[in-house]
Amino acid sequence: MDNSIIFVVGGVILGLVIGFIIAKGLEKNNASKLIKGAKKNAASILKEAKIDGENLKKEKELKAKERFLELKAEHEKVILSRDKKMAEAEKRTRDKESQISNELSRNKKANDSLASKIKDYDHRLDLLEKKQEELDKLHKSQVQQLEVISSLSAEEAKEQLVESLKGEAKNDAMAYVQSSLEEAKLTAEQDAKKIIINTIQRIGTEEAVDNCVSVFNIESDDVKGRIIGREGRNIRAIEAATGVEIIVDDTPEAIILSCFDSVRREIARLSLHKLVTDGRIHPARIEEVVRKTQKQIEQEIIEVGKRTVIDLGIHNLHPELIKMVGRMKYRSSYGQNLLQHSREVAKLCGVMAAELGLNPKFAKRAGLLHDIGKVPDAEADMETPHAILGMQWAEKYGEKDDVCNAIGAHHDEIEMKSLLSPIIQVCDAISGARPGARRQVLDSYIQRLKDLEDIAFGFNGVKKAYAIQAGRELRVIVESEKVDDQKAADLSFSISQKVQTDMTYPGQVKVTVIRETRAVNIAK
């Protein structure tokens, strides 16, 4: 068995050796075939590459020849253009040379002509100098002959002639100036009169109609009793709240309201109308209605100011100035309504400024505002002249310098610095001096009533002060917290002594000090 295995293994090994030898022979045969094929392929590739290289070489040579030809053609074009430009430049040079030669020939001719003219002029100058010398000799001889004849030297004759001419010129100038001045004065006076007359004729105005009383009409005399109230408490409450004296007499269906201040009088009239219409008349209701009426009057003042500036064509006026314009409706100057007077002055100024070639809008503005200082807000303002106070307000609220100067200078408190100022002054005089414009007595009467009230306000603790009975009575309402009963009596005496010392008035003035204490509670 061992032998059989050996034979088998030996056979296998032998088979493997024989197979390996056979495989090697086959591999060698295949390798030789592959080498031969590779050599053939390499030879064919080299042949093709050689053919492609020759073709490429030929193609590059053709392109190089074409590029050479193109460059050659371009070079030839450049050379031709350069030659052409050089030929043109040569031609221009030849033309310039010919022109220069022509100019030189003309200049030579001109120089020759100029030289001949200069020579001719020199000759003429020589002749003129000789003639001038001859003339000088003749002039000297004539002057000498004249000096011998007139027994005067030439300088003396000149001085006499100059003095004579100066005298004649001076006389002529003085005569001309005198005639011009007389003509200017005559013309200016005529023109001024014409402008003023035309201005006055074109403005229609009313006469003074303000007074110190208003009549309140009622439906029946039974209403009078309700207005008076129990023991007169209602009428006293109305007088205390409004500062107006209410006169209830035998005049049928009428009650008279007396007060120098038209604002108070209007507040009292409207308040009475509301109370009578409503039917509830008692002190608390009276005070409530008076407060509401005061607010209504303030709003009406603003509306009046707005309507006024719109009617006059004045724009961009400060709201505070509009309010002052509205308040002028309830002020008077010598019996002339202040708003009516200011509107009249504004219209006069506008017409006059237009006639003189000035700005009529500025003139109207200054004319309307020239008396706003007559409606002061506080007592301290009353010590300042109304023209200066109005100018200060106008400056404060942004008015133009010309307008401010016209307001301040219309009574000559300050210097006039523009043509607008004398126009305002003249128109103010025209409006106030025309017949029926003002009442002198009324103004002094109103001033006396204002002075009475101002004296009362000068004492501490005074809340309200009203001058009534045409200035024969002064009612003073004091603050109960600051003034007791004893001080009220002392205050009445002090005020009466102050009035007696500082004021001049007919008859006597009764001073009444009113002190009221209230206790108010609310039931809920």
- Checking if the pLDDT of 302 tops 70, the result is yes
Cα 509 to Cα 502: distance, rounded to the nearest angstrom: 13
**What average pLDDT does this structure show over 506-522?**
82
- Checking if the pLDDT of 308 tops 80, the result is yes
> Which pLDDT score is estimated for 506?
61
- Checking if the pLDDT of 370 tops 50, the result is yes
- Checking if the pLDDT of 208 tops 50, the result is no
Continuous segment of H or E residues that includes residue 463 = strand 462-468
DSSP-assigned letter for residue 380: G
Q: Is the pTM of this model over 0.85?
A: no
Cα 15 to Cα 4: distance, rounded to the nearest angstrom: 16
**What average pLDDT does this structure show over 223-227?**
77
Cα 200 to Cα 431: distance, rounded to the nearest angstrom: 9
> Which pLDDT score is estimated for 117?
87
> Pairing state of beta strands 510-515 and 473-478?
parallel
What average pLDDT does the structure give for the chain?
80
Contact assessment for residue 443 and residue 334, using Cβ atoms and an 8 Å cutoff: yes
